[in-house]
Structure 1
Amino acid sequence: MAAAVAGAVAAGHVVPAGSWLPGPRGLLLPGLDGRGHPGRVALTFDDGPDPRSTPHILRALDRLQVRATFFVLGDRLAGRRALGRLMAAEGHELAVHGWHHDRPWWPRPVRDAVETRRTAELVAGVCGEWPLWYRPPYGILTGGRWTAARTCGLRPVLWSAWGRDWAAGATPDGVTAEVLRGLRGGGTVLLHDSDTVSAPDSWRATLGALPGLVGACRERGLTVGRLADHAVRGADRGHGSRREPPAGAR
């Protein structure tokens, strides 16, 4: 009996993490893949905010007249609330990436629930409205993390194209080429505005890639913007008005 229970717990923890695989996810879970309006591309950044790099990303986006979605870490945002408020004031969207950037080797549903709620409440306090989105660190969406997100009223979303901008030796041209290789209309792009858990100074490749990447999207007739404007399949609408946390989320 104990073995059966342990097996069920392990399966509930591990099986949802299979959604990390981009091929099956794109076919079976287009909403989780970030698929939205075919005339748009959602631009997203993970792992910030970082006072060394995020302001540079913000200035580049402002020059390009693009607003994006930033999946923030609670332990980063907690000491950088003014930067978070600036991001929101400039029209960018803050979403939940977790409190710490760690891998979920073992089931820990209580900790997942506490840390996800804690981060969502922090984002809400900084932005003045409850966040819409959740993306787990490393894109590993375990059963506990999925449940924690949905209990907080957050919509889990991963990505449909990435730039591998976290790697040592990443270059602007390489990041741009990697994104465009997998990007189609309606896709969601994963980039990083911090090198907190990436190769040192890798964010500079991201920064250098932005003009060419946005330009290439526009040449294809695609509008680049936030997830909130992307009409992700199955997502609850709520932007444009003050969002409140679901009952029991506080």
Structure 2
Amino acid sequence: MRAGFHAGPAARAVAPVVVAAALAHIGPAATWLPELRRRRFPGLAGQGRPDHIALTFDDGPDPASTQHFLDVLDALGVRATFFVLGENVVRHPETALELARRGHELAVHGWSHDRPWLPSPARDARGLTRAVHAVGEVAGRVPRWYRPPYGILTSGRWAVARRAGTRPVLWTAWGKDWRQDATPASVRATVAADLRGGGTILLHDTDHVSAPGSWRAALGALPDIVRDCREAGWAVGPLGEHGVIGAEERGGGGSERGVSTSAGVGLGLGHERERERGERAGRGPGAVR
């Protein structure tokens, strides 16, 4: 019996390749760090016009909870962006259609809320393509925005999102409303701590992958959050009206530098589709170019 294991030349040669592939896959996930993306990649963070706040919701639609958010948003006179899961759109098509009917913007949160740690380009491509199709069927147009589950961007997901014509966007402020101990007061305070003009708020309109009933904390906080924004002089609306930094750019590199991993992978930001030229031309003054 040998005292230890000694890797042969072939194993030693393969090891750096495996490490490089893993870094290339997960390296862009560093943009999950709020301070990094705020400073280096404001467009990815969802930074837009300084007089506007983008209001976004993740994980729906869910007939048990989403309808309540729609009613409150109607009462507040606010439209928002809902990052929906493809599997939930297919499972609850009536609720998804109601989002679009009430004038909200539908965006893609993936097919399911899976964890991206292990490289699976084929799975990512299939799931995101299916989700884009499902959301497009409901919205009547190809969705513009993509936010990966957990806010974790991998190189594979980024590449697939760009091929699908969607722009990755995360957030600048969240409410931590998925927690069991979340309350309307805690959600409001957590959002306010990081919110500045031009920011993007992340909330959840369902407890699909959160603590049971946690959506009620976000719902209870919503009127106060909107009032806080308006008292600060900020309009509240969907990402489509937000003037996200870099969203006017077309082509490979966008207006921000690529996210470079230690494996040498460059990922451009800011690619937008030609078909949206008419929408861009119709935006009001003050949009960040």
TM above 0.5: yes
> Letter of the aligned partner of 2:135 in structure 1?
V
Partners in 2 of 1:12 and 1:58 — Cα distance? 40
**Other-structure match for 2:39:** 27
**Structure 2 SS opposite 1:31:** helix
How far residue 239 of structure 1 moved from its aligned partner, in angstroms, is: 8.1
**TM-score (structure 2 length as normaliser):** 0.81
**Other-structure match for 1:123:** 135
Mark the structure with the bigger radius of gyration: 2
Which 5+ residue runs of structure 2 have no aligned equivalent?
A: 1-12, 248-271, 280-289
Partners in 1 of 2:148 and 2:106 — Cα distance? 14
> Letter of the aligned partner of 2:201 in structure 1?
V
CA deviations 1:188-231 (Å, max 9, x no partner) are 00000000111110000111101100001000000000001001
CA deviations 1:102-153 (Å, max 9, x no partner) are 1112001111011101100000111110000000101111111111111101
**Other-structure match for 1:140:** 152
User: What does residue range 1-250 of structure 1 map to in structure 2 within 5 Å?
Assistant: 1-235=13-247, 236=272, 238=276
**Structure 2 SS opposite 1:43:** strand
% identical equivalent positions = 57
Partners in 1 of 2:117 and 2:226 — Cα distance? 36
**Structure 2 SS opposite 1:78:** helix
Q: Choose between structure 1 and 2 for higher RCO, CA contacts under 8 A separated by at least 6 residues.
A: 1
Q: Which stretch has the larger CA shift, 74-83 or 207-216? A: 74-83
**Other-structure match for 2:263:** none
What RMSD in Å do the two structures reach over aligned CA positions? 1.2
Which 5+ residue runs of structure 1 have no aligned equivalent?
A: 242-250
How far residue 3 of structure 1 moved from its aligned partner, in angstroms, is: 2.5
Runs of 4+ in 1 over 2 A off after TM superposition: 1-5, 236-241
How far residue 11 of structure 1 moved from its aligned partner, in angstroms, is: 1.1
How many residues of Structure 1 are paired with residues of Structure 2 in the alignment? 241
1:132–1:153: 8 Å Cα contact kept in structure 2? yes
